[in-house]
Amino acid sequence: MQIPFDQIENVIRTAGLAGQSATSLVNLFQSLKGALKTPEADRDTQIETAVLRLEGEVKNTQLQNDLLQAQLMGLNQEIERRQKAQEELRSYVMHQTEAGWIVYRSPEAEQPDQPPHFICPTCYERGLRSVLQGGENQKRCKPCRETFLFAKPAPVATTANFLRR
């Protein structure tokens, strides 16, 4: 009976580090089972039962661990992404347009790679960064379809103004 003890050591050493560890362990136990089918081990059913049970346990535990690790990694990445987005949002400064509307202004010092821009205050409250688009006089938030006035409206040419000239 040849049990590959050096393989066992290797697998144990790499278990939990590589994603393929479950497969290697299963392969290892397949070869163990093969070794147990030699004539001198035929009577030793206790060993075979133990190996079978161990195989099942290792397979279950390892698969669950791999799954949990993947889920944990995904959750950590999502938390990191949200924290980064929140931090970025908090760096924006409240700003009043010439026309008297309140928006948020980009922090120029913290975003030297981005052009100066404004974001929607309604979306800001919801934790979203929505850059206002449009010309100098007015800009629009696409998600909430709100229009923000920036420049003061030009004086309307009334008859009184016309006569005063």
Query: What is the contact surface with Zn ion in residues (CB under 5 A)?
Result: 120, 122-123, 130, 141, 144
Alpha helices, H only, the chain: 5-14, 21-36, 45-90, 121-125, 159-164
Structure-block tokens of residue 55 = 């195989």
> C-beta of 138: minimal distance to Zn ion in Å?
14
> C-beta of 152: minimal distance to Zn ion in Å?
23
Among residues 43 and 145, whose Cβ is nearest to Zn ion? 145
* Sequence-ordered list of residues with C-beta below 8 angstroms from that of 40, at least 6 positions apart, any chain: 1
Assign 137 to helix, strand or coil. Answer: coil
> C-beta of 122: minimal distance to Zn ion in Å?
4
> C-beta of 115: minimal distance to Zn ion in Å?
19
Among residues 122 and 137, whose Cβ is nearest to Zn ion? 122
Q: What is the CA radius of gyration of the chain?
A: 34
The full DSSP string for 75-106 is: HHHHHHHHHHHHHHHHT-EEEE-TTS-EEEE-
CB neighbours (10 Å) of residue 63? 12
The β-bridge partners of 146 are 141
Among residues 28 and 123, whose Cβ is nearest to Zn ion? 123
> C-beta of 95: minimal distance to Zn ion in Å?
15
Among residues 11 and 123, whose Cβ is nearest to Zn ion? 123
Among residues 122 and 138, whose Cβ is nearest to Zn ion? 122
